[in-house]
Amino acid sequence: MRLTVWEGQVKLRTFQVALGVTCVTCDVFTFAQTTMASSNLQESGRHTPPPASAAKSAPAKSSPGKVPPYFIPHKRDQVQAFDYDIQELKPISREKFLKYLYPNNALLPPEIPAELRDFFSIDDFLSLANGVAKLIQEKREYHLLCIYLFLTTHHFSLDRPNDDLLMFKDTGNSIPRGHVTGTKCRPDITAAFKEDWIEDQYSDWRLMRLAGEKASKGKPLDTQTKNAATYLYYLLMARPDFLVAQGLLTTSNGVTFLLGIGGVGIKQLEVQWEPKENLFELLYAFIYRLYEPSHFADSSYMETEFNEETSEVTYTVRIQTKEYPGFRAIHARNPFMTRTHVLSNPSRVREGSVTVLKDQLCRTGRRFDEWTILTKIHQQRRVPGVVEAVVGDIIKPPLSPEREKHLLGLRQTGSPFRSIPTAKKMLETLFDLLEGI
């Protein structure tokens, strides 16, 4: 942890936490609290789950000032607080579900291949999903090759598009890596591209395309649904580059498709195993959107890089017309509300450039926004203790009509904690910081 002190009198909210973040906004201030509280816990998130006895007395619903209830009792040692009411899952019609998946009717699936007709069951779902994924990959590869040959023949330059195979696997016995909260949550079903599977056993949360649940015998449907919703909850936090995350629940009766929409909630469609043609069309469209996220993805995130040696994922983010490379996620929360992400690139501190990116869904029609407030504060002169907004942009997510994404590039301008000249002033600064937290 690094702390920042300004020249002159130290104010209560003067702080710099985790790679040079100096901010007085509510979400990042909460992030500072979280970082200090959990920095010494191995693979822990915002809260450490209580013992079974404490969980029984937990309130049925969260309320202001109280820790949200802990869902999924049989996996309480694997997950953190999940503040989402299962009753808020919103069923939608088949027509609307397809409209969410693709806005045009050009992506129609072929007939069910004979070799896949025997896989329409809960135990054979992975074989069915992988068979459909293979069909789509072959079709995409053919079309991409035609485009590539056309452009190269006509002297256009184009890098060969990614034609990697999407693979579904049973991952209930492995813990995915890389989640920003450190969760030990274990999805039963995971989908990722072939090159993104690590040692053929597990993937990284930041590279996942889908996280789902396979219903187990003897457990209530509500519990299974909570499991699937929880995985979707964590997937949205792990993927700042997604506006919508995809998940599913397989049961003996059929498949429940889930769409986790940032700032909105979860939409679900339950489909029976029979008739097969109906399920096949929906599954085909669902997996196609995993290959081509289209409007499910945030176009501001230009590139995602994964370092196999350090297991670090960095993003290149575009704000207005400028690209900011090398940013990694350090905080995420509230995927179905404000859906706040904080990304950092500490190597840019010496350049005096943007060191922190804040990505947040805000309600439309507000009188003031963070960019306006921060610009007004620093209009006459830089105010110590208040983060400086260098660049900002507003994006309208297509499936979140009541919210708009505010993307801010922030810059810290404080001095290192060790630059405080005397031990007395250092202790005073530390006291003010801890008193504020």
**Higher pLDDT residue, 425 or 272?**
272
Q: Distance between CA 19 and CA 26 in Å, rounded?
A: 18
86-296 fold: tt1808, chain A (3.90.1570)
When pLDDT is cut at 50, 70 and 90, the band that residue 88 belongs to is: low
- Residue 56's pLDDT is 41
Question: What is the C-alpha to C-alpha distance for residues 260 and 346, in angstroms, rounded to an integer?
Answer: 31
Mean pLDDT, residues 267-281: 95
CATH 3.90.1570 domain span(s) along the chain: 86-296
The pLDDT of residue 97: 92
Q: What is the pLDDT of residues 353-397, one digit of tens each?
A: 889 999 999 998 887 788 888 888 887 877 777 788 889 999 999
pLDDT band at 69 (very low <50, low <70, confident <90, very high): very low
Rounded CA-CA distance 199/187 in Å is: 17
Residue labelled with tokens 């909260």: 181
Q: What's the mean per-residue pLDDT of the chain?
A: 76
What pLDDT score was predicted for residue 103?
Answer: 63
- Average pLDDT on 196-213 reads 88
More confident residue, 23 or 232: 232
Supply φ then ψ for residue 285, to 5 degrees: -65, -40
| Residue 268 predicted with pLDDT over 90 | yes
Range from 22-26, 63-67, 345-349 that averages highest in pLDDT: 345-349
pLDDT grade for 13, boundaries at 50, 70 and 90: very low
Q: What distance in Å separates the CA atoms of residue 171 and residue 214, rounded to the nearest whole number?
A: 11
- pLDDT band, very low/low/confident/very high, at 331 (cuts 50, 70, 90): very high
Least confident of 185-194, 218-227, 313-322: 218-227
Residue by residue, what is the 3-state secondary structure of the chain? CCCEECCCCCCCCCCCECCCECCCCHHHHHHHHHHHHHCCCCCCCCCCCCCHHHHHCCCCCCCCCCCCCCCCHHHCCCCCCCCCCHHHCEECCHHHHHHHHCCCCCCCCCCCCHHHHHHCCCCCHHHHHHHHHHHHHHHHHHHHHHHHHHHHHCCCCCCCCCCCCEEEEECCCCCCECCCCCCCCCCCEEEEEHHHCECCCECEHHHCCEEEEECCCCCCHHHHHHHHHHHHHHHHHHCCCECEEEEEEECCCEEEEEEEECCCEEEEEEEECCCHHHHHHHHHHHHHHHHCCHHHECCCEEEEEEECCCCEEEEEEEECCEEEEEEEEEEEECCCCCCEEEEECHHHCCCCCCCEEEEEEEECCCCCCHHHHHHHHCCCCCCCCCCEEEEEEEECCCCCCCEEEEEEEEECCCEEHHHCCCHHHHHHHHHHHHHHC
Residue 42: the pLDDT is: 36
What's the confidence (pLDDT) of residue 232?
Answer: 93
> Is 155 a residue whose pLDDT tops 90?
no
Sheet with 244-250: list strands edge to edge.
Answer: 90-91, 265-272, 254-261, 244-250, 210-214, 189-193, 166-170
- Provide the percentage of residues in the chain whose pLDDT is more than 90: 42
- CA-to-CA distance for 234 and 431, rounded, in angstroms? 35
pLDDT higher than threshold 60 for residue 307: yes
Question: What pLDDT shows up at residue 240?
Answer: 95
- Mean pLDDT computed over 238-250: 96
Q: What is the mean pLDDT of residues 287-297?
A: 93
- The token pair at 125 is 């779902």
